[in-house]
Structure 1
Amino acid sequence: MNITLLIAAAIPGSKSTIHNHVQRGERIATAIQQRYQISTPHQWQAKHLRWFLEVQTAGMSHASRYDYWRTCRALASVLGKWPAWENHLRGNWNIHAAKQRGGRPAKLANRVTVP
């Protein structure tokens, strides 16, 4: 499965936003494929994304870890797994340092069938 198709279906926004999410999504897919030999996102489980967020982003800045969490959230959403995986993907990476309580809810795609 092409990660670009999933991300494009999941992320509303500008071309640069989508491009950045696609790059992060490809890095996530590559890391999961190398570690678990799982080649398609439809086979992923919450533990795979949690492993990526815990291990692969450990040396990154808080803002970068938050960006990767947002990409994981979008992937889980487009796969139709977000409500079930939300609690498993909580960690110190999912709260942006500058974010205060409140604000508008995240724009996530509804489950989209990708050819």
Structure 2
Amino acid sequence: MSKPFDIELFLVGVLTGSQATQKRHLHQAKIIQAEIEVRWQRETPWSWQRKHLAWFLEHHLRQRSNATRYYYLLTVRLLVRRLETSWVFKS
């Protein structure tokens, strides 16, 4: 039995800002990870493709407010920075 992927350890190198901001990013990253795992059975960010994050932003957050979508976009940008990819998402 393997240990679950630790998204907090994954993001620790790119998290900046206040403790509240870091906590929000970690909470949102865990939600993103869980939704992608349910939809595509991709547990770790290393196995994600751009389409997985685009799906989350476009479809999973469809009924959310603009402010909520913006904060999730910031978290996605941190994930992309940590993955060292050049993926760009609309705001």
Structure showing the higher helix proportion among its residues: 2
Please list every run of 5 or more consecutive structure 1 residues that lacks an aligned counterpart in the other structure: 95-115
TM-score, length of structure 2 as denominator length: 0.91
Alignment of 1:1-115 (within 5 A): 1-81=5-85, 83=86, 85-86=87-88, 89-90=89-90, 94=91
CA distance in 1, matches of 2:12, 2:42: 21
Deviation of the 1:6 alpha carbon: 2.2
SS of residue matched to 1:59: coil
CA distance in 1, matches of 2:26, 2:66: 20
CA distance in 2, matches of 1:7, 1:52: 18
Q: How many residues align?
A: 87
Provide the residue aligned with 1:98 in structure 2. none
Deviation of the 1:5 alpha carbon: 1.4
SS of residue matched to 2:63: coil
TM-score, length of structure 1 as denominator length: 0.72
CA distance in 1, matches of 2:50, 2:8: 20
Deviations 1:12-40 (A, max 9, x none): 11111110000000000000000000011
Identical aligned pairs, as a percentage?
36
Please list every run of 5 or more consecutive structure 2 residues that lacks an aligned counterpart in the other structure: none
CA distance in 2, matches of 1:75, 1:5: 12
Runs of 4+ off more than 4 Å: none
Please provide the CA RMSD for this pair: 0.9
Deviation of the 1:51 alpha carbon: 0.2
